[in-house]
Structure 1
Amino acid sequence: MLSRKIRWPAYLVCAVVGCAAVWGLLTFVMAKPVDEVVLTLGEPYEQVRRQSHSTLPLLTEVNSVNLHVRRPAIFRLSDPRYGFATPTAKFLSLYANQKGNVTLVTLSPQVETLPLDESMAILTDIQNQFRRGGWKPFHSSINRPIEDTKATREAIRACTAPTTRWQADDKYQVSLNIRCFRTDDRPDDERYLITLDLSLPVFDDYPDD
């Protein structure tokens, strides 16, 4: 009888310690900084690495065209007027020119292919950030903003890869598109992949836009 009375406090102590350990682990995971790549185009790549919390690699002579993260990260353009941020991206790659400055970013703002509803939510949010920041659509006669309409959804489901282009004054251009992603073994599973390309101005707008 005495041994049973002794066991109960021991069980209670173990339970309390176990709960504390689990809580501590959850707190650590929740407090752990999320990876983030922060930059403005034209900045030196090594400066971008220092100001970001990410797995961007060291710049070498052979990897300047594909400086990609090894762990998913949020992307944030830190321009005070035209800045925007994306959801966490599994694929995020930078290009550095011969001077070592970043002039191009390519990413898919997702960690996996997504259903259409979730994909449209991301597209809508990014384009709303552009509008709030003063970005303007260009090449808009053929590359209109991707609006969440029945016609747009039908075009996306038909795998036409709708593309929209935006420009921030004479500083940046963005190409944003969404593509079908299906496999032969699951042809009815609708999944989609968004791609965003951010660059310095390269293309001229069409005069009739």
Structure 2
Amino acid sequence: MNRLGPIGWQRGGLGLFVAALLVFGGVRLFADEPEIALTPGEPWEDMRQRSSAAIDPAIPGHHWFMVPKTDARLRLIDPQYGFVTPLARFFTIGFTDELVDGIRMSPQIEPLVLDDTLRVVLDLQAQWRKAGWISIGTEKDPPFADTPEWRARLRDVNRGGSAYWRASNKYEVMLVVGRFRDDSRPTEERYLITLQLATPWGYP
């Protein structure tokens, strides 16, 4: 039988401590990322007070949008259908009469390579599927998948792809992926993800 002496236990304990510290640190780092936490239709000030990312007040009596003051992730706070995105640089939150309206964003801080693009969209779809969202319009717009067919479609600058998901009669999401010319990397294939969230507007 292999027995650990005092030094072995110390090393083993130190390893566990370091591993725990790394996990805890990673959780804390993720938790400390600025976020906009909302649900469509709620008062704008409720969203502002709850969110850790700063955003300006709504303009009374107007239909318009605001942009967070920093990169931020989106957290839908619905107890059943909630989900969270990666950090976004392009992120607009609409309002009508000081109520949260539609959200349009790109859940990324730079154009992504195809592998990373698929990783993001598949994680979002997995969150929706687990929370009970339903993919809609699948004959024309099936959910994204990491398959040779989907990769070829996304690489085609004239095609790209889209998918639609609905959460009962509460929310609808449109997810779009397309090739994007990144002038800082003109020889690389890069992709832009667009996510739109609102109350159901009806599949096109």
Fold conserved between structures, TM > 0.5: yes
For residue 136 of structure 2, what is the aligned residue in structure 1?
Answer: 138
Q: Aligned Cα RMSD in Å?
A: 2.2
For residue 54 of structure 2, what is the aligned residue in structure 1?
Answer: 55
CA separation in 2, counterparts of 1:31 and 1:74?
10
* Number of residue pairs matched by the alignment: 176
> Which runs of structure 2 are paired with 1:1-209 in the superposition (5 Å)?
33-60=32-59, 64-98=63-97, 100-159=98-157, 160-183=159-182, 186-203=185-202
Do 1:145 and 1:165's aligned partners in 2 also have CA atoms closer than 8 Å?
yes
SS of corresponding position for 2:64: coil
Q: Which amino acid aligns with 2:82?
A: G
Do 1:69 and 1:91's aligned partners in 2 also have CA atoms closer than 8 Å?
no
Shift of 1:161: 2.1
* CA distance 1:150–1:31, change in 2 (3 Å): closer
Shift of 1:188: 2.8
CA separation in 2, counterparts of 1:42 and 1:61?
15
CA separation in 2, counterparts of 1:126 and 1:197?
13
TM-score by length of 1: 0.78
**Bigger radius of gyration:** 1
TM-score by length of 2: 0.80
* CA distance 1:51–1:152, change in 2 (3 Å): same
Structure 1 unaligned regions, length at least 5: 1-28
Shift of 1:155: 0.6
| CA distances 1:160-180 after superposition (whole Å, capped 9, x unpaired) | 120000000000000001111
Shift of 1:83: 0.4
Do 1:108 and 1:196's aligned partners in 2 also have CA atoms closer than 8 Å?
yes
Shift of 1:141: 1.1
| CA distances 1:44-102 after superposition (whole Å, capped 9, x unpaired) | 1111000001121121259752211121011100000000000111111111112x111
CA separation in 2, counterparts of 1:31 and 1:119?
19
* CA distance 1:203–1:190, change in 2 (3 Å): same
